[in-house]
Amino acid sequence: MHSEPLSILLALAPRERRRQLATLSDAEREELATYWKLWARPEQLAPQGDWRTWLILAGRGFGKTRAGSEWVRAVADADPEARIALVGASLSEVRAVMVEGESGLLAICPARRRPVFEPSLRRLVWPNGAQALLFSAAEPESLRGPQHSHAWCDEIAKWDNASSRAMRAFDNLLLGLRLGESPQLLATTTPRAVPILARLLDEPPETLVVTRGRTEDNAANLPQRFLNQVRRTYGRSQLGRQELDGELIADIEGALWTRALLEGCRGPAPADLVRVVVGVDPPASAGGDACGIVVAGLDAAGNAHVLADASVRKASPERWARAAAGAAQAWNAERVVAEANQGGAMVASVLRAADLALPLKLVHASRGKSARAEPVAALYEAGRVHHAGTFPELEDELCGLVAGGGYQGPGRSPDRADALVWALSELLLGKTTQPRVRLA
């Protein structure tokens, strides 16, 4: 159905519109249901002009995946020679989100023009001959060699950049983006201050188009309960500004940790850790700050690995104690290190009441949080600490600790960061820093 008849149909009174819709064939009804220009918001439509890179930088639930799928579909429909790269953080994510997801390519294409998915070949083939290949950003070498006319990179800011993996994957993709007269790349992502996103934003303005947006922009397609809950929980916090409002949170001047430093320290933890501890920063009151609970381990080479952030918000003493005990049990920790400035006897008794059958070490803070964190930040700089995953709330707090004192991160207090400092200090800065093997 062409756009002019469609606009005429939409202008009709409801009764006349229903009468006209009843005259449509099944194929025309299907075309109407999948006519993207009818249902899309303007910011979800591909920009006009001779651009090379379109970056959609927006909050969760904005409709980035649908916009990406529809752009790929339009490219494939228009050009039988199109060769499109679909790149995500992992192959499983490419398949689950970009191809088979609710807003993925198989779901949004009308049946008559739906591509055939060949999982073994990691390939989609449209009826007209256009093709798309699936790639993982965790395998940069797989992008070395293949040539493409178009590329869609999903959640590019979460690509694992350990050993510069994400940057190498992106470089290999760009070097192969050379088919056709006007190769184009679409990147869809929730913003994070990582090197690959800074690289994208640094492209010349004449070739780069940036679309920004918030979660609420897609309110018509999101449950109101979800919107109310996430706003109530995150509000205008740093995490809320990033994940809901789509803001790119820049590094704070003088911060002990930077986003680039944290991205560079990611990597899987070895299976044979020789020591695991849980750091706990108890809250001053049940209705106040969070209880920081961070699990960290030591490997045989003397390097530390942050394994989990099990922190809980606004928890009673019984609840945060159970959370700490649960984390210790789940990770087979040998010790819990808890700050006791708010009352050592109380902290000890609460943890014991949670059936914590582990050695408990109470530590007392004689310096401010930033001062205690400075030697731990130096360990990151020296490459002694690695993050086995992404811990957004913890990392936001780390990036809010400023050298010389002070905290400028989310919330009133860096409780998660403090728990991390206690855990890593126990592993790397204590009197016994050499790894030892635990006896069964």
Report the distance separating Cα 26 and Cα 321, nearest Å. 61
Give me the mean pLDDT over the 179-200 stretch.
Answer: 92
pLDDT in tens, 350-366: 777 766 666 888 888 77
pLDDT of residue 180: 94
Spatial contact of 68 and 186, defined as CB atoms under 8 Å apart: yes
pLDDT at position 144 over 90? yes
* CATH number, span 34-239: 3.40.50.300
- pLDDT at residue 435 in the model: 43
DSSP assignment letter at 355: T
pLDDT of residue 140: 96
d(CA 128, CA 80): 5
Task: Extract the tokens encoding 299.
Answer: 């490997």
Q: Which of 67-81, 126-140, 393-407 has the lowest mean pLDDT?
A: 393-407
Contact between 137 and 145 under an 8 Å Cβ cutoff? The reply is no
Phi-psi region of 105 (alpha: psi -120 to 50; beta: other; left: phi over 0): alpha
Roughly what angle, to the nearest 10 degrees, separates helices 415-424 and 369-381? Answer: 60
CATH 3.30.70.1060 given to domain 259-429: no
Residue 94 φ then ψ, to 5° = -60, -45
Average pLDDT in the 334-348 region?
76
For the segment 190-201, the average pLDDT, to the nearest whole number, is 89
Is pLDDT at 230 greater than 80 in this prediction? yes
Q: 120 phi and psi, to 5 degrees?
A: -65, -30
- CB count, 10 Å around CB of 216? 15
Q: Tens digits of per-residue pLDDT, 67-84?
A: 999 999 999 999 999 999
Q: Which of 383, 416, 435 has its CA nearest to residue 407?
A: 416
DSSP assignment, residue 19?
H
What tokens were used for 323?
A: 């959370």
pLDDT per residue over 275-291, tens digit each? 999 999 988 765 567 89
pLDDT in the model for residue 162:
75
**Which residues lie across from 304 on neighbouring strands?**
298, 385
d(CA 132, CA 86): 7
Amino acid at 131: Q
Residue 396 scores a pLDDT above 70 = yes
Q: Of 19-23, 162-166, 168-172, 225-229, which has the strongest mean pLDDT?
A: 168-172
Higher pLDDT, 404 or 310: 310
Rounded to whole angstroms, the Cα distance separating 410 from 288 reads: 14
Contact 384, 362 (CB under 8 A): no
pLDDT exceeds cutoff 50 at 425? yes
Sorted by sequence, the CB contacts under 8 Å of residue 11 that are 6+ apart come out as none
Instruction: Give residue-wise pLDDT tens across range 161-181.
Output: 877 889 999 999 999 999 999
Q: In this predicted structure, what is the pLDDT of residue 39?
A: 82
What is the per-residue pLDDT across 95-126, written as a single tens digit (0 to 9) for each?
Answer: 999 999 999 999 999 888 899 999 999 999 99
All structural domains of the chain with their residue ranges: 34-239, 259-429
Q: What is the pTM of this model?
A: 0.67
Look at residue 400 and give its three-state secondary structure: coil
Identify the residue with better confidence: 103 or 433.
Answer: 103
Quick one: pLDDT at residue 434? 45
Average pLDDT over the chain, rounded to whole?
88
